[in-house]
């Protein structure tokens, strides 16, 4: 067979994905014509198709050695080096290609990706913009620019680039997914925007329509549906995602939140154990075995919290059950809780995260205790009371002629990812001060300068300078008649102390307050005031005002 016939045969194999057969034919040609640079390049391509990256690189380099201005071979070499994670060499390869052919859009596009990986953001943007200037149909470059601006939280620009990519290719599932994610991210930056959330849902649904096996689109759709209060639809989305990939931990944890919101605690807490397979959660460098809930027979168990202060306060109710399993308990907590938790029964030793851990046999997260104890809606343990010491004189509240002494907290931890949803502004709570015969006390630990200025114009009492930790805050709360708070650790502390606690909840509140309930199975003294529309704190405050009047009467 002639070279032309062999080349045609090899190319047919190549197009059909029969790489081994194509490699054999191309190899036969090169043995006869060792300087055939085109076939050397083709050998590199079929080697790459078989995952043999080093062989592919060698073939491309051989072709370039014979023909230094062989643009296709240089481009393919850069791609193979990039796939081999030889990033610096790949960058140098693309740069040399662009010296030879300055209008190569693909090289600029790939160079932009590599610069992004190297965190050279300015260079990445410049390269991708250059790719688009050369070829306005560079879909991937628009998409990757969207990713760059999304990472910088420049949501408007990211959305514009994703939309440009989708104008060129409406069936681009990754662009549809990231457009939805950015719409959600934009909402976090600007406050509640129902329209944006609905647009995100539509984008996820379109991604699924384009790629029905796109697991990530299903679970991100589930997250967005929960935020809109569509719990049943969210469960269906998570289940569809898990049917495609039963091992996807983010779909399992999303399903957990949906189930817990509806009161399916045993199944929900079981699903929540999948959080350990996500990058957000880790048990640290513990080498001891994780406790499986079986009797411990006097072994020492270290309990820790991988989450927030409120979670710890909520879950210490399980200490008696853990003690019943024969455990000697070491409780690890964060410093602001140490003095308060020292008043708890059933604990042999309390340490903070900053201290060296004592010797123990097994460990468990406090948030895993509902799962280990197989908690259902009807078997939630009662809150575990604190044995508070005598009230310090510096924390005694001044005498008041008001009928009601009410503690108030309107802001949660600013580092919490959902703080923009669960917290309200001090301006939102101002209408409450119109209630007669009520003396308000601030339970807010960290006040913004704006809040401080507004506080001076109101009758609210401020005691936080004397509150060093949660034990001091507990001393303040024990003297009050009522606590009104957003969903933060103050809510858990007050309710655990048995104080009447009114919790102000945003529209898509945390799983523990469940769906549409006005009471809480976790705390008998809690009353829930919910937004009926996303972002509507005004209606919530009107309801609280009315409830305060009723309480006084």
Condensed to tens digits (0 to 9), the pLDDT of residues 514-536 reads 999 999 999 999 999 999 998 89
* Intrachain domains 300-372 and 393-552 with the same fold: yes
pLDDT at 149: 97
Average pLDDT, the chain: 92
Answer whether 336's CB lies under 8 Å from 473's CB. no
Range of lowest pLDDT (26-35, 173-182, 215-224, 364-373): 26-35
Condensed to tens digits (0 to 9), the pLDDT of residues 399-454 reads 887 789 999 999 988 777 778 788 999 999 999 999 889 999 999 987 777 778 88
pLDDT at 465: 55
Q: Label the pairing between strands 349-352 and 404-409.
A: unpaired
Smallest Cα–Cα separation from 130: which of 110, 151, 146, 152? Answer: 110
Q: pLDDT confidence of 94, banded at 50, 70, 90?
A: very high
Cα–Cα distance measured from residue 12 to residue 27, given in angstroms and rounded to the nearest whole number: 15
- Cα-Cα-Cα-Cα torsion 243, 249, 255, 259, nearest 10 degrees, comes to 120
For the segment 345-358, the average pLDDT, to the nearest whole number, is: 94
Q: pLDDT confidence of 545, banded at 50, 70, 90?
A: very high
pLDDT at 234: 98
The structure tokens 């010491």 sit at: 389
pLDDT at 39: 81
Range of lowest pLDDT (19-23, 107-111, 299-303, 499-503): 19-23
* Contact residues for 61 (Cβ-Cβ < 8 A; gap 6+): 77
In sequence order, what DSSP letters do the residues of 489-508 get, joined into one string? HHHHHHHHTT--EEEEE-TT
* Fold observed for domain 300-372: Rossmann fold (3.40.50)
Q: pLDDT confidence of 185, banded at 50, 70, 90?
A: confident
Smallest Cα–Cα separation from 234: which of 213, 260, 217, 258? Answer: 258
> Which sequence spans correspond to the domains of the chain?
300-372, 393-552
Kindly tell me if the per-residue pLDDT of 152 is higher than 80.
yes
Q: How far apart are the first and last CA of the chain?
A: 103
The token pair at 472 is 């001091």
Range of lowest pLDDT (50-59, 233-242, 333-342, 412-421): 412-421
Answer whether 501's CB lies under 8 Å from 527's CB. yes
Cα–Cα distance measured from residue 61 to residue 78, given in angstroms and rounded to the nearest whole number: 10
What number of CA atoms fall less than 13 Å from residue 34's CA on the CB side?
1
Which contiguous run of DSSP H or E holds residue 301? Answer: strand 300-304
CATH superfamily, domain 393-552, is: Glycogen Phosphorylase B; (3.40.50.2000)
pLDDT at 401: 77
Answer whether 526's CB lies under 8 Å from 520's CB. yes
């Amino acid at each position: 067979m002639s070279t032309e016939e062999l080349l045609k045969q090899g190319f047919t194999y190549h197009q059909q994905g029969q790489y081994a057969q194509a490699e054999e034919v191309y190899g036969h040609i090169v043995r006869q014509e060792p300087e055939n640079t085109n076939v050397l390049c083709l050998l590199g391509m079929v080697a790459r198709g078989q995952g043999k990256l080093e062989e592919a690189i060698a073939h491309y380099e051989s072709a370039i050695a014979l023909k230094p201005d062989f643009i296709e071979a240089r481009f393919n070499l850069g791609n193979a080096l990039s796939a081999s994670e030889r990033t610096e060499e790949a960058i140098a390869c693309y740069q040399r290609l662009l010296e030879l052919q300055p209008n190569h859009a693909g090289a600029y596009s790939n160079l932009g990706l590599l610069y992004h990986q190297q965190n050279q953001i300015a260079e990445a943007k410049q390269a991708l913009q250059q790719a688009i200037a050369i070829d306005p149909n560079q879909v991937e470059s628009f998409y990757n620019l969207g990713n760059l601006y999304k990472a910088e939280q420049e949501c408007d620009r990211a959305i514009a680039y994703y939309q440009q990519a989708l104008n060129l290719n409406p069936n681009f599932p990754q662009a549809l997914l990231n457009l939805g994610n950015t719409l959600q991210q934009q909402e976090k930056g600007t406050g509640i925007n129902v329209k944006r959330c609905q647009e995100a849902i539509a984008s996820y649904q379109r991604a699924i329509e384009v790629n029905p096996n796109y697991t990530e689109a299903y679970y991100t759709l589930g997250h967005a549906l929960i935020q809109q209060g569509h719990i049943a639809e969210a469960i269906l989305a998570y289940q569809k995602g898990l049917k495609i990939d039963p091992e996807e931990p983010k779909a399992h944890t999303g399903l957990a939140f949906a189930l817990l919101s509806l009161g399916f605690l045993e199944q929900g807490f079981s699903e929540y154990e999948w959080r350990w397979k996500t990058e957000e959660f880790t048990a640290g460098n513990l080498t001891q075995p994780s406790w499986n809930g079986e009797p411990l027979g006097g072994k020492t168990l270290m309990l820790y919290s991988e989450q927030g202060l409120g979670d710890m306060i909520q879950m210490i109710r399980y200490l008696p059950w853990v003690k019943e399993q024969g455990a000697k308990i070491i409780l690890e907590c964060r410093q602001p809780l140490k003095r308060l938790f020292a008043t708890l029964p059933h604990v042999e030793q309390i340490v903070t995260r900053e201290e060296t851990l004592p010797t123990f046999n097994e460990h468990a997260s406090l948030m895993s205790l509902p799962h280990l104890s197989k908690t259902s809606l009807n078997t939630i343990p009662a809150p575990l009371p604190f044995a508070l010491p005598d009230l310090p004189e510096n924390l005694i509240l001044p005498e008041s002629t008001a009928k009601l002494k009410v503690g108030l907290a309107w802001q949660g931890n600013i580092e919490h990812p959902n703080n923009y949803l669960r917290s309200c502004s001090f301006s939102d709570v101002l209408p409450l001060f119109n209630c007669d015969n009520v003396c308000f006390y601030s339970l807010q630990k960290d006040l913004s300068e704006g809040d401080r200025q507004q506080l001076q114009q109101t009758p609210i009492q401020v005691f936080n300078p004397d509150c060093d930790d949660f034990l001091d805050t507990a001393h303040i709360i024990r003297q009050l008649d009522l606590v009104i708070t957003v969903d933060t650790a103050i809510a858990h502390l007050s309710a655990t102390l048995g104080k009447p606690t009114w919790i102000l909840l945003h529209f898509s509140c945390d799983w523990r307050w469940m769906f549409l309930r006005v009471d809480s199975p976790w705390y008998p003294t809690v009353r829930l005031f919910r937004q009926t529309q996303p972002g509507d704190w005004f209606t919530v405050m009107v309801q609280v005002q009315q409830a305060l009047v009723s309480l006084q009467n």
